[in-house]
């Protein structure tokens, strides 16, 4: 059996698929090592998941796609590649797997410079900047979509989006989260780092919709993941609402297992986890996402009957209406079924199959 290094980090959308795949490979007898940015979110997640982690420096890529943001970031990226090479030379993995995002680049470039097989996972329908830099020398690319613009079709294999395929009984999830069993439960989650826009706008809208935490005789409770940067800003705005619970982080498995409805952005990882748990969504796509891919992601969910799209510019006028439409019992039940039909169970296993196909033989 081999050691497989997961080069990932930066956001939950790049980290949690790596965690899911690492655990699948470990169940098959392989060893897994997470390689990411020192001090980044991935270091905390690895500790929580009981996975080995090594941190290196990573330069942040500019959103514009014009390369690294400044020379200091270029220096950090180069230093990270040197550090990653030392790790890989010492550990001799059978493959290095890249999940996109700036924090994955040192590990992937280091592996390719050493002749170690690399496999990528592209979660979006448009090949990301870091993946473009690595795809030419990669052995294969697992994808979440049938077609990925900018990717050589000969290297692409549709595997789906790896998620942690674990559910909790709803009562257990509610207890773990400190929530009540009985109320209609809404989950507000702006990605792993939180969303300033959702943090600033959603609490006031939901307070107006549900006076006293009630809707038509039904109790309502909200679990809102703010992200660590914004918790001190959001907490005072909802302190007078005993039914509105805020946290910098939540356990995603418990949160999805407890939720009846989510109010989220529209990243591929979020949509995949919601589908696995059968949770309908009201999606507010991030307007600055590359080529507006979050909007297109959200539209596909809406067309499947599993959610509603509310564009950011329309939130003040349309979000409340969308929530009220979705929480009608008949609508909610139908949307839950539609969400379940969108799930791609077994994605982590299919991606692990692809990785195993390209593993080099262990060094004696």
DSSP symbols for 220-285: EEEEEE--TTTHHHHHHHHTT-TTEEEES---HHHHHHH-SEEEE---HHHHHHHHHHT--EEE--
Would the annotation count 307 as a binding residue?
A: no
State the DSSP code for 342: T
* 118, 49 contact by CB (below 8 A): no
Tell how many helices (H) and how many strands (E) occur in the chain.
14, 14
| Dihedral, CA of residue 252, residue 258, residue 259 and residue 264, to nearest 10 | -10
* 194, 229 contact by CB (below 8 A): yes
Q: Residue 90: CB partners within 8 Å, gap ≥ 6?
A: none
CA–CA dist 136, 151 (Å, integer): 9
Rg (CA), the chain: 21
Would the annotation count 297 as a binding residue?
A: no
Would the annotation count 12 as a binding residue?
A: yes
Please provide residue 149's backbone torsions phi and psi, each rounded to the nearest 5 degrees: -65, 135
Reduce the DSSP state of residue 208 to 3 states and report it.
helix
> Residue 355 has which token pair?
């990785």
Would the annotation count 124 as a binding residue?
A: yes
* 352, 29 contact by CB (below 8 A): no
In 3-state terms the chain splits into helix, strand, coil percentages (rounded to 5) of 45, 20, 35
Would the annotation count 107 as a binding residue?
A: no
Binding site residues for UDP-N-acetyl-alpha-D-glucosamine, as ranges?
A: 11-13, 124, 164, 192, 294
Q: Could you list the residues known to form a binding site, using ranges.
A: 11-13, 124, 164, 192, 294
């Amino acid at each position: 059996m081999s050691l497989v290094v997961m080069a990932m980090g930066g956001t939950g959308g790049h980290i949690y698929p790596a965690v899911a795949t690492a655990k699948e490979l470990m169940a098959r007898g392989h060893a897994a090592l997470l390689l990411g940015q020192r001090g980044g979110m991935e270091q905390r997640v690895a500790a929580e998941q009981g996975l080995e982690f090594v941190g290196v420096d990573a330069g942040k890529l500019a959103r514009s796609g014009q390369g690294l943001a400044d020379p200091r970031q270029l220096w950090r990226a180069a230093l990270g590649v040197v550090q990653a090479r030392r790790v890989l030379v010492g550990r001799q993995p059978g493959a290095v797997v890249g999940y996109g995002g700036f924090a994955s680049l040192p590990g992937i470039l280091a592996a390719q410079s050493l002749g170690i097989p690399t496999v990528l996972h592209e979660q979006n329908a448009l090949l990301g900047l870091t993946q473009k830099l690595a795809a030419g020398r990669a052995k294969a690319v697992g994808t979440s979509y049938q077609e990925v613009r900018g990717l050589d079709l000969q290297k692409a294999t549709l595997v789906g989006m790896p998620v942690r395929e674990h559910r909790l009984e709803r009562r257990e999830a509610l207890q773990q989260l400190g929530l009540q069993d009985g109320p209609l439960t809404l989950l507000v989650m702006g990605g792993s780092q939180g969303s300033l826009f959702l943090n600033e706008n959603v609490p006031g809208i939901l307070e107006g919709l549900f006076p006293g935490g009630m809707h038509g005789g039904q109790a309502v409770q909200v679990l809102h993941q703010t992200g660590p940067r914004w918790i001190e800003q959001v907490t005072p705005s909802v302190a007078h609402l005993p039914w509105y619970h805020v946290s910098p982080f939540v356990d995603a498995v418990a949160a999805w297992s407890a939720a009846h409805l989510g109010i989220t952005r529209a990243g591929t990882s979020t949509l995949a986890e919601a589908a696995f748990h059968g949770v309908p969504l009201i999606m507010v796509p991030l307007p600055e996402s590359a080529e507006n891919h979050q909007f297109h992601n959200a539209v596909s969910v809406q067309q499947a009957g599993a959610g509603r799209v509310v564009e950011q510019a329309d939130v003040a006028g349309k979000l409340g209406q969308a929530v009220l439409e979705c929480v009608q019992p008949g609508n909610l039940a139908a949307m839950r079924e539609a969400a379940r039909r969108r799930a791609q169970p077994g994605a982590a296993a299919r991606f692990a199959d692809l990785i195993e196909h390209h593993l080099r033989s262990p060094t004696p």
